């Protein structure tokens, strides 16, 4: 395997986690091992079931509840900090070819993590490891070190017509 790159999927449009999932499925089908860590999320989205159907993929959530409207509590911060430590150990173990840090930029935006700690983890990645970061509001420091950046732009969304997340499509 050659050099591993750092990808960022950001923006206000739908599809960041979905794009990361697509890459994860593609990697597993190519015989690679994938770790998919979800920051902030604690709800059991359908993607966490992937490990029941696909070999070589592991999911772990580093969140507990939705706090977008009320703000995070100390427990949310502790879970995120411990999640970053776990991801760092996973990266350094070189056990996985692809590591996804889903909603890491949201964890930074809500100050669950600090940018210096995240940058340290990213800068110490092994040469061949591919890292994928997702979430809105990607910080400039992350954009500066990324090798690939995709911005999802919302043009139209059925949510504004009252359609909530649909099972198997949006969650």
**pLDDT for 160 beyond 80:** no
pLDDT of residue 1: 66
**pLDDT for 6 beyond 90:** yes
Q: Residue 80's pLDDT band (boundaries 50, 70, 90)? A: very high
pLDDT of residue 164: 78
pLDDT mean across residues, the chain: 92
31 phi-psi bin (left φ>0, alpha ψ -120 to 50, beta other)? left
Range of the domain at 57: 6-161
| Extended strands (E) in 63-163 | 98-102, 130-134, 148-151
Q: How far are the Cα atoms of 23, 42, 70, 133 from residue 143, in angstroms, in the given order?
A: 19, 26, 28, 10
In a domain, 171, yes or no: no
pLDDT of residue 165: 78
In a domain, 117, yes or no: yes
**pLDDT for 163 beyond 70:** yes
pLDDT of residue 71: 77
In a domain, 168, yes or no: no
Q: What is the pTM of this model?
A: 0.91
pLDDT of residue 41: 79
CATH of the domain at 152: 3.40.50.300
In a domain, 170, yes or no: no
Count of structural domains within the chain: 1
In a domain, 134, yes or no: yes
Q: What is the pLDDT of residues 12-68, one digit of tens each?
A: 999 999 999 999 999 999 999 999 999 997 777 788 888 999 999 999 999 987 666
pLDDT of residue 67: 67
In a domain, 141, yes or no: yes
In a domain, 121, yes or no: yes
Give helix then strand counts, H and E, for the chain: 6, 6
**pLDDT for 159 beyond 80:** no
pLDDT of residue 68: 67
């Amino acid at each position: 395997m050659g050099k591993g790159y750092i990808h960022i999927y950001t923006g206000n449009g739908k599809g960041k986690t979905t794009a990361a999932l697509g890459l994860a499925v593609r990697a597993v089908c190519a015989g690679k091992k994938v770790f998919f860590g979800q920051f902030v999320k604690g709800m059991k989205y359908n993607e966490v079931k992937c490990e029941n159907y696909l070999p070589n993929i592991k999911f772990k959530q580093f969140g507990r509840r939705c706090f977008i409207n009320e703000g995070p509590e100390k427990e949310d911060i502790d879970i995120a900090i411990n999640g970053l430590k776990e991801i760092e150990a996973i990266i350094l173990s070189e056990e996985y070819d692809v590591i996804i840090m889903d909603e890491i930029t949201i964890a930074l935006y809500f100050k669950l993590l600090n940018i210096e700690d995240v940058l340290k983890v990213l800068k110490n990645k092994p040469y061949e490891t591919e890292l994928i970061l997702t979430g809105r509001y990607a910080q400039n420091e992350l954009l500066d070190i990324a090798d690939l950046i995709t911005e999802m732009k919302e043009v139209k969304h059925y949510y504004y017509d009252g359609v909530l997340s649909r099972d198997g499509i949006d969650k």
